[in-house]
Amino acid sequence: MRIAIQGATGSFHHIAAEHWFGSGNDYICCETFGDVFTALSEKKADSAVVAIENSRFGSITEVYDLLLEHKFPIVGEVAEQIHQQLIGLPGAKLTDIDEVYSHPVALGQTSRFLDSKLKNAEKVEFFDTAAAVEHIKRIGSIHNAAIAGHLAAEMHNMRILAKNIEDEQQNYTRFLIIKNGRTVVKNANKTSLVLQTDHQPSALYRAMGIFAKRNVNLTKLQSRPISGKVWKYQFYIDVETAGKQLDDIRHDLIADGCKVTILGQYMADPKTYED
Amino acid sequence: MRIAIQGATGSFHHIAAEHWFGSGNDYICCETFGDVFTALSEKKADSAVVAIENSRFGSITEVYDLLLEHKFPIVGEVAEQIHQQLIGLPGAKLTDIDEVYSHPVALGQTSRFLDSKLKNAEKVEFFDTAAAVEHIKRIGSIHNAAIAGHLAAEMHNMRILAKNIEDEQQNYTRFLIIKNGRTVVKNANKTSLVLQTDHQPSALYRAMGIFAKRNVNLTKLQSRPISGKVWKYQFYIDVETAGKQLDDIRHDLIADGCKVTILGQYMADPKTYED
């Protein structure tokens, strides 16, 4: 199978994809999330794995926008516990480092470590964690470090200068599995959908009542601007239901004046449940 | 007055600050939003102006997090219509450009223009729009351009190569005015608050009912992770009320098990109302 991921092999997207699909697949490594969706559109990939949120950093809103724009179905989710490593050349020491390369999210996840141990080092945003490791290897300076997962250090024979430097030990990223083409997931128990209300006061409150009266739990509520409409928002909602009950909810929402777009029905990863 | 802004003079923060405070003030130009809040904490600034959302790009979640962390009161808001300019050296033409520097939000706001007219140019993220203009002026290559407001081009005697290149003509950024020290705003009609529910199913629905039964309109609902709590969210809410009615709402929310933090009560900018 051809799987599009954001970032290089060795990245957390790669790790998440291996957990979902197993080994022996081909990877289409894309620089941006936009490129991942283009790879699906152009049928260069059969599936894709995209990060949608980190438990500390929050939603990756660009991916929310792309999901609605392209409407490839979500067929699964996988939550990965993220451990970030400070990675340098084999001869480097922590005190040598004056430039740190990584993805903005990884820089955000390790800001407490960076602010205390590498206060004066310049933080350079890079499109991918694992590619940042490749980049500093190519430069070959002991003054450069990258932040990435352990797999990237191993793949490139680099040294871990500081281990598990993430600010919060309970640091998870939730990845979505999306598929090129229609599909029905058996035993789905979770639905991702986009809701546009009629923009009247209390419209969102009424819509949430439609879930509440069935005791359906919302696990996520993410507002995003509606393109072309100033100060109007749509809501990306994850709910713990699917199938017939979801059909009923959708019917009631539409009857109440909402526009509903189903992004996918799939099995929840138990690691995404609240503690 | 000493006003901290993110970015250089000539930036949209500068323009918003002049609209609010008038001219004749001193500016503390900060590279990051974190630095803006540090300038207030260290009493190097009396007030600050921070962008909180763009009508196309959405919330600047980092600022939401900083508002709650530091709790400097919000005393006002100002919405600026954003026109982005492609700016180059006086001798440059659009066809010369192979590198475009700007803030990620400005790159996002002009992606349609960039994808059509500068498809092969490299997009380089910079910490500020106006500073990107300074940067390409210093480099001095006709192959570099920056995206910024017209004021930055004028201040640096640079050429506008393409005018008003934002994807959406109705493109506004909402800025908050925050103050170093407690204050009461007269005639406040809007409140920003942070709500933590008790994490039971329907808790947010019940909380929204407390607003709805008073016909109080929510103009913004932004979820953010709660630091240290995996898959738990708090809600940043803007409501069209203040004063006594807000006190009553706060009382009811607390009685229902919510934790409520008031970030500020202030006058709504009419440009932030829905069409």
Percentage of residues of chain B with pLDDT beyond 70: 99
Spatial distance between the Cα atoms of B125 and A251, rounded to a whole number of angstroms: 44
Q: What is the pLDDT of residue B52?
A: 97
Using the 8-state DSSP alphabet, how is residue A213 labeled?
T
Q: What is the mean pLDDT of residues B97-120?
A: 93
pLDDT at B226: 92
Residues 6+ apart with CB under 8 A from B182: B73
The answer, as to whether pTM is greater than 0.90, is no
> For residue A228, is pLDDT > 70?
yes
For residue A162, give the nearest of A226, A96, A254 by alpha carbon.
A96
pLDDT of residue A274: 57
- Across the interface, whether the CB atoms of B221 and A224 are under 8 A apart is answered no
Asked whether residue B270 carries a pLDDT value surpassing 90, the answer given is no
A162 within 8 A of A85, measured Cβ to Cβ: yes
- State the pLDDT confidence band at A222, using cuts at 50, 70 and 90: very high
Residue range B31-44, pLDDT digits in tens:
899 999 999 999 99
pLDDT above 90 coverage of chain A, percent: 81
Residue B212: pLDDT above 90?
A: yes
B91: exposed, middle or buried (Cβ count in 10 Å: 0-12, 13-18, 19+): exposed
Determine the residue of chain A that is closest to B125 in CA distance: A125
CB within 8 Å: B224 and A274:
no
Please give the average per-residue pLDDT across A62-69, as a whole number: 96
Of B58, B212, B217, Cβ closest to residue A225? B58
Averaged pLDDT for residues A112-139: 94
Mean pLDDT of B113-130: 94
Q: What is the mean pLDDT of residues A113-126?
A: 95
pLDDT above 60 for A275: no
Instruction: Identify the band that residue A128 occupies on the pLDDT scale cut at 50, 70 and 90.
Output: confident
Torsion B89-B91-B95-B98 (CA) sign: negative
Minimal C-alpha gap between B120 and chain A (Å): 14
Average pLDDT over residues B141-153: 95
CA distance B91 to chain A (A): 31
Q: Report d(CA A261, CA B29) in Å as an integer.
A: 43
Q: What is the mean pLDDT of chain A?
A: 94
pLDDT for B36 equals 98
Q: Would the pLDDT of A83 be above 90?
A: yes
Mean of pLDDT values over A42-51: 97
CB A63 within 8 A of CB A178: no
pLDDT digits (tens, 9 = 90+) for B159-205: 999 999 998 888 899 999 999 988 899 999 999 999 999 877 789 99
Selected for mutation to probe chain B from A171, A205, A219, A226 (highest B CB count within 10 Å) is A205
Please tell me which residue, A183 or A90, carries the higher pLDDT value.
A90
Average pLDDT over residues B86-104: 96
Contact by Cβ (8 Å): B66, B41:
no
- CB contacts, 8 Å: B54 with chain A: 225
What tens digit of pLDDT does each residue of B42-88 get? 999 999 999 999 988 899 999 999 999 999 999 999 999 989 999 99
Predicted local confidence at residue A101, as pLDDT? 98
Residue B19's pLDDT band (cuts 50, 70, 90)? very high
Question: Order of strands across the sheet with B218-225?
Answer: B218-225, B233-239, B190-196, B259-266
ipTM reported for the complex, 2 dp? 0.84
What is the rounded average pLDDT of the residues A53-60? 90
Strand partners, A74: A178
Coil, helix or strand for B250?
helix
CA nearest to A62, candidates A104, A21, A9:
A104
* Interface of chain B toward chain A, CB-CB under 8 angstroms: 53-59, 61, 125, 168, 170, 172, 199, 201-202, 204-205, 208-209, 211-212, 215-225, 227-233, 235, 272-275
pLDDT of residue B274: 56
Q: Please give, rounded to a whole number of angstroms, the shortest distance from the CA of B74 to a CA of chain A.
A: 19
Helix A61-70 × helix A33-41 angle, to 10°: 20
Q: Which residues contact A261 (CB under 8 A, 6 or more apart)?
A: A68, A71, A193, A194
Per-residue pLDDT reduced to its tens digit, B223-252: 999 988 889 999 999 999 999 999 999 999
Q: How far is B253 from chain A (nearest CA, A)?
A: 15
pLDDT digits (tens, 9 = 90+) for A143-186: 999 999 988 998 899 999 999 999 888 889 999 999 998 889 99
Q: What is the pLDDT of residue B76?
A: 97
Q: How far apart are the first and last CA of chain B?
A: 34
Mean pLDDT, residues A126-131 taken together: 90
Taking CA atoms, A149 is separated from A13, A82, A141, A168, B239, in Å, by: 11, 8, 20, 15, 42
Give the model's pLDDT for residue A121.
96
* Mean pLDDT score, A21-43: 95
pLDDT for the residue B225: 93
